[in-house]
């Protein structure tokens, strides 16, 4: 019997503590972890909850992030509710095993505190690790603040463990900007939280000796294609279930989430599309530009990065004239990965707004309200001219000479 843990109606938590409280309230059976900055407090806190009797679970320390996800796979295959957390290089080391978890259809929840990938070494936040996992077969959801890190972690278990989904889920938050910034958070009671998440109902668990199962089978060309196609279908079919979970959560808490969030988009002509904490900065900039200069600025935020919401993105940007897609990750010799996906969604639309790519905030570089305003105004210039007036890809906030590798000859 777990010791009672009292919460106030309003708490002051950072994103890491918020995520760890969600693990406690969801009564996670097993956390297997190898801590790494800036995600360490999530698993560290869970370990303290176990040690202090606040939860009847198991905290297992291992020798690497590769081993951490391997341990999670074993515990989940055995029928447990399982979670862990990681960042950056740890995520990269874990990457091999991420494909095992999704291929085996195991409902593991991974809290990813986004951080830049080396080299050079950097412990601050950008989205390089999130992009690294985009093709691993996991559902990926993004929190923009501490409240959302808590809420989405609870939603993640309910989504992952749904028998029509049975896929692992990542919940992303920006390293240090969200993970270490204390904000007001309004938690559910322990009883309400576990009633929402529900008890795990395992499928094909290895401890059910009356019905032996095999995990990690080899298929080669005979069946591999069919397995991956079914896995992809399950990922795409998770979209209505994600929506249903968000709707149920809204009825309980009044906090409504959508796979694509739109702000001031009713009449928006110029738009920033973003992920993570950038969204809140862009929203402030859009509101100020509307009040100060009458610029019809709006923001579209991707809450659910995988499965990518192509139709919802297309619909959200239907009336826009110029769109800036922001990538907080090094493009590696191409347009930004996020830009490519948003552009693909827009390619089939009749309106076809002008779309440019901004690489920004790498290694934790600040993204200011003034910089967001500059981007909005540049989109206004594109819209007024009827064509892109600058390089199609820019490095926003970069010191030193202008870098314009991808240029446009439109006009």
Same domain for 148 and 278, yes or no, is no
How far, in Å, CA of 37 to CA of 20, rounded? 15
For CA atoms 32, 35, 36, 39, the dihedral sign is positive
Same domain for 31 and 167, yes or no, is yes
Domain boundary among 219, 253, 287: 253
CA atoms within 13 A on the CB side of 129: 36
Same domain for 246 and 268, yes or no, is no
Instruction: Output the CA–CA distances (angstroms, integers) from residue 153 to 21, 84, 108, 157, in the order listed.
Output: 9, 11, 11, 7
Number of neighbours of residue 209 by Cβ within 10 angstroms: 6
Domain at 235, CATH number:
3.40.50.970
Tell which residue, 125, 119, 122, 97, has the closest CA to residue 32.
97
**pLDDT band per the 50, 70, 90 thresholds, residue 402:** confident
Same domain for 239 and 339, yes or no, is no
Domain boundary among 230, 253, 276: 253
How far, in Å, CA of 132 to CA of 301, rounded? 20
Domain at 376, CATH number:
3.40.50.920
**What is the residue range of 52's domain?**
11-253
pLDDT at 27 over 70: yes
Residue 3 in any domain: the answer is no
Same domain for 192 and 224, yes or no, is yes
Instruction: Output the CA–CA distances (angstroms, integers) from residue 145 to 132, 179, 183, 252, in the order listed.
Output: 22, 8, 8, 20
Same domain for 184 and 63, yes or no, is yes
Instruction: Output the CA–CA distances (angstroms, integers) from residue 58 to 5, 25, 33, in the order listed.
Output: 18, 14, 11
Residue-wise pLDDT for 263-308, tens only, equals 999 999 999 999 999 999 999 999 999 999 999 999 999 999 999 9
- What is the rounded average pLDDT of the residues 206-225? 91
How far, in Å, CA of 159 to CA of 241, rounded? 7
Same domain for 73 and 206, yes or no, is yes
Residue-wise pLDDT for 258-270, tens only, equals 999 999 999 999 9
How far, in Å, CA of 23 to CA of 157, rounded? 9
Residue-wise pLDDT for 318-376, tens only, equals 999 999 999 999 999 999 999 999 999 999 888 899 999 999 999 999 999 999 999 99
Residue 60 in any domain: the answer is yes
Same domain for 228 and 286, yes or no, is no
pLDDT of residue 411: 43
**How much of the chain, in percent, has pLDDT values that exceed 90?**
93
Please give the tally of structural domains in the chain: 2
Same domain for 186 and 280, yes or no, is no
């Amino acid at each position: 019997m777990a010791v009672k843990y009292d919460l106030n109606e309003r708490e002051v938590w950072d994103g890491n503590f918020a995520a760890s409280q969600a693990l406690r309230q969801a009564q996670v059976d097993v956390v297997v972890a190898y801590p790494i900055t800036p995600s360490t407090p999530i698993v560290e806190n869970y370990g303290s909850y176990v040690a202090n009797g606040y939860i009847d679970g198991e905290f297992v320390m291992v020798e690497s992030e590769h081993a951490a996800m391997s341990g999670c796979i074993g515990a989940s295959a055995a029928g447990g509710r399982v979670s862990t957390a990681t960042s950056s290089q740890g995520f990269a080391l874990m990457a091999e095993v991420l494909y095992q978890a999704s291929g085996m259809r195991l409902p593991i929840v991974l809290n990813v505190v986004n951080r830049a990938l080396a080299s050079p070494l950097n412990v601050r936040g950008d989205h390089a690790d999130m992009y690294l996992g985009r093709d691993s077969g996991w559902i990926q959801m993004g929190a923009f603040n501490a409240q959302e890190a808590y809420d989405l972690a609870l939603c993640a278990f309910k989504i992952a463990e749904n028998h029509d989904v049975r896929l692992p889920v990542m919940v992303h938050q920006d390293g240090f900007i969200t993970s270490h910034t204390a904000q007001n958070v309004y938690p559910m009671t322990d009883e309400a939280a576990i009633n929402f998440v529900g008890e795990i109902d395992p499928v094909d668990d290895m401890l059910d000796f009356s019905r032996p199962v095999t995990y990690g089978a080899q298929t080669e060309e005979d069946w591999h294609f069919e397995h991956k196609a079914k896995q992809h279908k399950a990922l795409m079919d998770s979209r209505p279930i994600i929506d249903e979970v968000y709707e149920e959560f809204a009825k309980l808490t009044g906090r409504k989430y959508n796979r694509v969030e739109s702000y001031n988009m009713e009449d928006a002509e110029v738009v920033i599309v973003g992920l993570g904490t950038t969204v809140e900065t862009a929203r402030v900039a859009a509101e100020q530009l509307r009040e100060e200069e009458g610029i019809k600025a709006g923001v579209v935020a991707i809450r659910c990065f995988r499965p990518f919401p192509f139709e919802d993105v297309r619909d959200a940007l239907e009336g826009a004239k110029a769109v800036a897609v922001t990538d907080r990750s090094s493009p590696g010799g191409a347009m930004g990965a996020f830009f490519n996906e948003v552009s693909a969604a827009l390619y089939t639309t009749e309106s076809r707004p002008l779309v440019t790519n901004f690489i920004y905030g790498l290694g934790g570089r600040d993204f200011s309200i003034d910089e967001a305003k500059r981007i909005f105004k540049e989109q206004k210039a594109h819209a007024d001219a009827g064509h892109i007036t600058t390089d199609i890809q820019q490095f926003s906030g970069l010191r030193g000479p202008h870098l314009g590798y991808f240029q446009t000859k439109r006009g």
